[in-house]
């Protein structure tokens, strides 16, 4: 009886522990998302905040419920009727619609920044994993250390570093004789790449380091002993064994980079067309909550696709084991 009671108590406690993250997701993700989803289907009929139509209309006298889903916000994203006859290609359509242009620009910047992060993170993670314990712990601390400073402060610091006239980078290059006049870096796309790579590089290093640490070194030694060249050993043995870490690191960089707002706002300036800036402009400056909500829902759908792909790969890897 005691054993049965202990098992029942353990099972109940386990369910409570498992339920905590689900409750967290319900309160802080699902409910806010449902609010955004609701606003994406309403229509703004005035310029003041709160002048929106209702999705559910209730007539208490006749006990009638009516649903009023307004699809005009999504129609603005997919409608081609507003374009002139001079538009002859899909790219002309995209280029004529600032919303889709922002999505394309965000995808491009996020993908390139993710690739750069992975190319830098992999050799760094490999070098850290091959160090002695004391050195390894120090390097891991240095990787995490910048995260202890507020995100906004670090971006403001990069503004000072990349300043076109008095920035530390330009002054250093001029002092070293590399350039004669200051480079234009701040308020360009290059500055956005620098900011994203700097801020999200640790999120790429740590998963790759964890995967590399789990590699059985005898497999690498066996490959080299059998005459396989180091480069071929890397692509045939090491990289497949660390694929999950590379994908996880790429996801941790790509997903927040796609919807990034602070970095393109402070480092990219007015020239940046990333969807985060576009969304905030529609949400705040124009006070068009329904359109901003529709943009956010579409962005979330775009983000869900790589998440589902990563989940599929994880389940496949688990089945193979």
Q: Pairing between strand 64-67 and 56-59? A: antiparallel
Q: Give the SS3 label for residue 69.
A: coil
Which pLDDT value is given to residue 193? 95
- Per-residue pLDDT tens digits of the chain, which is 321 residues long: 555 554 565 556 667 777 788 888 888 888 888 888 888 888 776 665 556 666 666 666 655 555 667 777 888 777 654 444 555 555 555 556 778 888 889 999 999 999 999 999 999 999 999 888 888 999 999 999 888 888 889 999 999 899 888 888 888 888 888 888 888 888 889 999 999 999 999 999 999 999 999 888 888 888 888 888 888 888 888 999 998 899 999 999 999 999 899 999 999 887 778 888 888 888 877 778 888 888 889 888 888 887 887 777 777 766 665
- Identify the pLDDT of residue 1: 52
Whole-angstrom distance, CA of residue 220 vs CA of residue 321: 20
The answer to whether 176 touches 191, Cβ cutoff 8 Å, is: no
Q: Half-sphere exposure (CA, 13 Å, Cβ side) for 77?
A: 18
Helices 189-213 and 133-144 meet at what angle, rounded to 10? 150
pLDDT value at residue 99: 81
- 57-60 own/partner pairs: CB under 8 Å, 24+ apart: none
The whole-angstrom separation of Cα 80 and Cα 185 is: 36
pLDDT at position 83 is 46
Question: For the chain, what percentages of helix, strand and coil (3-state, to nearest 5) are there?
Answer: 75, 5, 25
Give the per-residue pLDDT at 81: 47
Q: What's the confidence (pLDDT) of residue 133?
A: 86
- The SS3 of residue 67 is strand
* Rounded-to-integer distance, Cα 125 and Cα 210, Å: 9
- DSSP result, 20-47: HHHHHHIIIIIHHHHHHHHHHTS-B-SS
């Amino acid at each position: 009886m005691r054993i049965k009671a202990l098992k029942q108590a353990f099972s109940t406690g386990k369910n409570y522990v498992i339920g905590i993250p689900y409750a967290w997701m319900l309160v802080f993700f699902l409910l806010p998302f449902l609010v955004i989803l609701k606003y994406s289907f309403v229509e703004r009929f005035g310029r003041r905040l709160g002048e929106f139509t209702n999705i559910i209309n209730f007539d208490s006298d006749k006990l009638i419920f009516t649903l009023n889903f307004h699809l005009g916000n999504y129609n603005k994203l997919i409608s081609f009727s507003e374009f002139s006859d001079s538009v002859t290609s899909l790219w002309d359509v995209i280029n004529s619609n600032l919303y889709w242009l922002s999505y394309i620009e965000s995808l491009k910047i996020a993908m390139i920044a993710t690739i750069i992060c992975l190319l830098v993170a992999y050799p760094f993670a490999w070098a850290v994993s091959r160090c002695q314990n004391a050195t390894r712990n120090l390097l891991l601390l240095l990787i995490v250390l910048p995260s202890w400073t507020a995100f906004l402060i670090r971006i403001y610091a990069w503004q000072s570093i990349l300043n076109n006239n008095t920035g530390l980078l330009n002054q250093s290059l001029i002092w070293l004789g590399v350039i004669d006049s200051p480079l234009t870096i701040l308020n360009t796309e290059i500055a956005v790449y620098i900011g994203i790579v700097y801020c999200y590089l640790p999120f790429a290093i740590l998963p790759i380091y964890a995967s590399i640490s789990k590699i059985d070194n005898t497999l690498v030694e066996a490959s080299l002993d059998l005459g396989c060249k180091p480069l071929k050993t890397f692509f045939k043995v090491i990289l497949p064994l660390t694929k999950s870490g590379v994908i996880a690191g790429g996801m941790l960089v790509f997903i927040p980079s796609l919807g990034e707002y602070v970095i393109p706002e402070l480092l990219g300036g007015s020239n940046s067309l990333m969807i985060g800036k576009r969304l905030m402009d529609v949400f705040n400056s124009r006070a068009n909550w329904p359109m901003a909500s529709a943009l956010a829902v579409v962005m979330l759908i775009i983000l869900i696709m790589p998440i589902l792909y990563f989940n599929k790969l994880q389940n496949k890897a688990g089945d193979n084991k």
